[in-house]
Structure 1
Amino acid sequence: MSTLLLVRNGRRAVSLTGVGRRGTDALSGVHPVARRSIIDLSYSAHFMDFQGSSIPSSMKKLVVNKLSPNFREAVSTQTVAIPTPGDAELLVRNRFAGVNASDINYTAGRYDPSVKPPFDAGFEGIGEVVGLGLSASSSYTVGDTVAYFGSGAFAEYTVVPAKESVPVPAVKPEFLTLLVSGATAYIALKRLGDLTKGETVLVTAAAGGTGQFAVQFAKQAGCHVIGTCSTNEKAGFLKSIGCDRPINYTQEDLAKTLRKEYPQGVDVVYESVGGSVLELAVNSLATKGRLIVIGFISGYQTASGIPHFKGGTLPVKLLQKSASIRGFFLPHFLSDYKEALGSMMKMIAKGKLVCEVDCGDMSEEGRFVGLESVFRAVDYLYAGKNLGKVVVEVAPPPVSNSKL
């Protein structure tokens, strides 16, 4: 195997290889050049890149400079040097990045108060490996397509630990929907939902990024599924993925509909809105009902991040029904992550899982393309306009400059 090392200012070398992990040359059919020495200073200024296209010396990324739940106020675009991957790391050219409601919790510093600005924004990305370290080359090679769940995804290039990268068949935004949105629904319902065939499940914000998966997983478990949404278009989408009773709350009174059509209550609630919707969900629980809180988006844009909740009688309501409220935060369940992704990937391969992506094609200013469009995408999500997972196309597919 021919290996090239990158050496800068006498620092530790990292491997950059064009040879696949299966022992075949990356440029199929081309005779390899003569073996080079282990440390090749002639290559000290650049990487060996995917399909022969050069890596620029600088890139753009979104950086949190001020703690605020206002994304536009907290974040700015910066031009920085392309990062160098360490021994067990990959350099990924991002093609798509996912937008999450929690992005503004992150910019507000709510997850880890000890972290101070500046820090990188974005939770999840998917793209091509364009550089890698020596240890990482045992599992990956330049040109592999990977997805990842970690900070710094709102950037043209991101350094990602190889062990935290997920190999994917192709750079398609559908695979990106699994990393946070899909995994949250899969693991939360499996570990906390205790779903039993024939039970009734209520999914709030059902046509959103994670709601769409909760609907499908509950239906696969043999449950009757109710889904709340804000438009008839979303209601139609919910029916197409198996939702038994979509409720467009802009046209129907949600509380009255639930009392009339489900007088015995609902067994499980997958809840992400908070505030008055959470109060309604508590009141709608059946005996031994389980309410899973995966978020409370209605409060994220406020100074505290927490929507008002009338919880004075909560202990009585739970006791009278032997019901429970369970919180779910994905980083606390990473031991389940690999199995969840593997299972969902199999579902996709078998055509048993819909991954609806919203790249803003129907928005007033058009498709979300380029890092600058992340700001529009966050606004779009919080305006409740999205159908499915909001995804930004960070960069178009790479074009090879190789003449071989």
Structure 2
Amino acid sequence: MTMRAWVIKQYGKPEDLVLDRIPVPSLREGGAEPVDTLVKIEAVGLNFADEIAIAGRYQDRIEPPFVPGNEFAGTVVQTSGSSRFQIGDRVACQVRSGAFAEYCAVPSHRLMAIGDLPAPIAAALPVSYTTAHVALFQKANLTAGQTILIHAAAGGLGIAATQLARSAGARIIATAGSEDKRRIARENGAEHVIDYRQPDWHDEVKALAPQGVDIILDPVGGQTSERSLRLLGWRGQLLVCGFASGEIPALKANYMLVKSASVHGVYWSFDRNPEEIATIQQDLVGRCADGKISPLIQQVRPISELIEAIKDLGTRNTVGKVVLAW
């Protein structure tokens, strides 16, 4: 059997992706991690990491040719003896690669059971919401009453973090660019929203938190990270979640020293903490089903528009999560 899949045959730009026909992945038993479940993909989520992987600049490089894509939702269509799922079960997953295809073969212990959640909603959970949860609760131990500054609050990670911080009872200050993005940040739980394009945005944060903020979630990098470090209060924490600006910051240790502050790199791995990540992800599915969190998906685009969608994500012409469907 063959399937349609977007393949990158040599590192390059999104335009170098090719919609090709390749063999459907096979299941295999044995080894440390049996690949025992085949999923027919219905929806995929986009991430900044996708473009980086296509360019060959991701930390965990995969040699071409390969099928990019890190998260999907769909229906189980084939299993082998060790799978904990049955044909017809609906699931979602974060994978190292392979989501931009009609089928993906996965070890069943990595899959999230999603029940009746719509595939586009479920496809938005594995990366952004897991990252936000790890950042806020595993790294920063966020508690009620703390003040958190969330950058790029209208993006997929920003909205996830805002919703989770709101549910924990935190006071949320957010930054976003356009008026529409600032409105979205407020609607998702931010109490104060600041236009980061203004040169004095950090002064507005200082006015709202004169003693400094407790936690800063930063997926932007560059000067945003450097200025953010100065906004931390005593024993404040800066959560480095990515470099959407394209610039890796040079952080000055003296600001950490005088405030006894911490900088945490937020990078999670299912391989390193399988039980913890599986518990977090299944909890997120439950919260979503109960209406406690709700991914913002303004539009579900056809998978044929993948190249254009990745470009839009890279130029920040999107809000919330970008999802595509077969």
Tell me, yes or no, whether TM beats 0.5. Answer: yes
Distance 2:248 2:22 in 1: 41
RMSD: 1.9
Any idea what SS the aligned residue of 2:291 has?
coil
| Residue in structure 2 matched with residue 205 of structure 1 by the alignment | 152
| Residue in structure 1 matched with residue 32 of structure 2 by the alignment | none
The worse-fitting range, judged by mean Cα deviation, of 197-206 and 230-239 is 230-239
1:378 matched to 2:310? The reply is yes
| Residue in structure 2 matched with residue 79 of structure 1 by the alignment | 21
C-alpha contact 1:234 1:387 (8 A) present in aligned 2: yes
- Pick closer, same or farther for the CA change 1:295–1:335 going to 2, 3 Å: farther
What do residues 38-90 of structure 1 show as CA deviations (whole Å, max 9, x unaligned)? Answer: xxxxxxxxxxxxxxxxxxx322112222224x3323x3222113333334522
Alignment partner of 2:261 out of 323, 336, 343: 323
Distance 2:283 2:23 in 1: 38
Distance 2:82 2:256 in 1: 52
Any idea what SS the aligned residue of 1:357 has?
coil
| Residue in structure 2 matched with residue 32 of structure 1 by the alignment | none
What do residues 344-382 of structure 1 show as CA deviations (whole Å, max 9, x unaligned)? Answer: 2222232211211233xxxxxxx5202x31111111111
Distance 2:199 2:301 in 1: 32
Deviation at 1:283, TM superposition (A): 1.2
Distance 2:285 2:60 in 1: 31
Distance 1:344 1:310 in 2: 34
TM-score, normalising length: structure 2: 0.90
1:215 matched to 2:162? The reply is yes
What do residues 146-187 of structure 1 show as CA deviations (whole Å, max 9, x unaligned)? Answer: 111112000011122222222211342112221010011011
Aligned AA for 1:60? R
Larger Rg: 1
| Residue in structure 2 matched with residue 33 of structure 1 by the alignment | none
| Residue in structure 1 matched with residue 100 of structure 2 by the alignment | 154
Distance 2:286 2:44 in 1: 22
| Structure 2 segments unaligned to the other structure (5+ residues) | 30-34
Aligned AA for 2:151? T
| Residue in structure 2 matched with residue 93 of structure 1 by the alignment | 40
Deviation at 1:257, TM superposition (A): 1.3
C-alpha contact 1:94 1:155 (8 A) present in aligned 2: yes
Identity value in percent: 30
Alignment partner of 1:358 out of 292, 298, 309: 298
Deviation at 1:206, TM superposition (A): 0.9
Deviation at 1:252, TM superposition (A): 7.3
| Residue in structure 2 matched with residue 369 of structure 1 by the alignment | 302
Distance 1:93 1:123 in 2: 15
Count residues in correspondence: 316
Distance 2:8 2:57 in 1: 10
| Structure 1 segments unaligned to the other structure (5+ residues) | 1-56, 300-306, 360-366, 396-404
Structure 1 stretches of 4+ moved >6 Å: none
Any idea what SS the aligned residue of 1:63 has?
strand
C-alpha contact 1:368 1:376 (8 A) present in aligned 2: no
